[in-house]
Amino acid sequence: MLKGGVIMDVVTADQAKIAEDAGAVAVMALERVPADIRAQGGVARMSDPDMIDSIVAAVTIPVMAKARIGHFVEARVLQSLGVDYIDESEVLTPADEAHHIDKWAFTVPFVCGATNLGEALRRINEGAAMIRSKGEAGTGNVIEATRHMRSIRGEIRRLSTMDETELFSAAKELRAPYELVAEVAEAGKLPVVLFTAGGIATPADAAMMMQLGAEGVFVGSGIFKAGNPAQRAAAIVQATTFHDDPDVIAKVSRGLGEAMVGINVSELPDSERYATRGW
């Protein structure tokens, strides 16, 4: 049960222990955090099974791992390794330019990124058990995650005001099945949990995302690319719980040291924007 919690990217067993001690509800095991993938370039793939095993062995909280978009064999391998969730992630280099993984064919649950409601519903239709905003991973810049959260939540609110006829055309516009669209319109929320990810670097970033309607937070490069990761990780966990209490956020934001160096997303060429990956 991950709701209201923080999931942290880790690349070693030691980092996984730090994350668990800080109060993470799960860790994402990967070889390079997005900021390094961005800096080093090349094809980013599923992590080494030995490395995933070492992290699974190091902690008692759930472990997630990433497969490339459309790479159903990487996903099979991760399932056989016994990870608790698979992230079909745009942070890795896509393996299929038209198809995502058929997630119904797996017993392990999947989390998928989305930039808007249509994308979220297509992933849910393919079997995703959890949606996260894509944001722009590895930038330490929250602007894209904000855009995606506002877009998803805003479109859900818009559906709630529609009549039957309008829902049919909305389903067409969203490129999503009518039944799913009608369900979201009725409930006023996605049928799965909605987390946020991509560029969260500070306790205040995490709290803002929770106030924008996220049910939990992924922090990628923001923790272990900053000074004093243990303290920053604990601070982000506390700010997520008390996202509506500025006094608590102020208290935990003190003395955290350097945050990760950020990147202005507007200066990124399209080819380096991960959020455009996925269809």
Residues labelled as active-site residues: 66
Give yes or no for residue 212 binding another protein (CB under 8 A).
Answer: no
Burial label for 36, CB within 10 Å (0-12, 13-18, 19+), is middle
Give yes or no for residue 234 binding another protein (CB under 8 A).
Answer: yes
Task: Please say which residue, 137 or 192, places its beta carbon nearer to another protein.
Answer: 192
Give yes or no for residue 3 binding another protein (CB under 8 A).
Answer: yes
Q: For residues 36, 42, 47 and 50, what is the CA-based torsion angle, rounded to 10 degrees?
A: -100
Q: Considering only residues 74 through 93, tell me which ones interact with another protein, judged by CB under 8 A.
A: 79, 82, 84-85
Give yes or no for residue 241 binding another protein (CB under 8 A).
Answer: yes
d(CA 119, CA 27): 25
Task: Please say which residue, 21 or 173, places its beta carbon nearer to another protein.
Answer: 21
Give yes or no for residue 159 binding another protein (CB under 8 A).
Answer: no
Give yes or no for residue 144 binding another protein (CB under 8 A).
Answer: no
Question: Given CA atoms 236, 250, 215, 200 in this order, what sign does their dihedral have?
Answer: negative
Query: DSSP alpha helices (H): ranges in 98-211?
Result: 117-125, 143-160, 164-174, 178-187, 203-211
- Order of strands across the sheet that contains 26-29: 193-195, 130-133, 110-114, 85-89, 63-68, 26-29, 6-10, 217-219
* Interacting residue with another protein among 109, 127, 177, 262 (CB under 8 A): 109
d(CA 279, CA 119): 7
| Closest listed residue to residue 171, CA positions, set 125, 108, 133, 113 | 125
* Interacting residue with another protein among 77, 177, 242, 279 (CB under 8 A): 242
Q: Which stretch binds another protein (CB under 8 A): 90-98, 106-114, 145-153, 154-162?
A: 106-114
Task: Please say which residue, 27 or 204, places its beta carbon nearer to another protein.
Answer: 27
Task: Please say which residue, 62 or 278, places its beta carbon nearer to another protein.
Answer: 62
Task: Please say which residue, 130 or 265, places its beta carbon nearer to another protein.
Answer: 130
Question: What are the CB-based long-range contacts (under 8 Å, 24+) for 158-161?
Answer: 159/117, 159/184, 159/185, 160/185, 160/188
* Interacting residue with another protein among 34, 62, 118, 135 (CB under 8 A): 62
Least separation in angstroms between residue 84's CB and another protein is: 4
Binding site for another protein (CB under 8 A): 1-5, 20-26, 60-62, 79, 82, 84-85, 107-109, 234, 237-238, 241-242
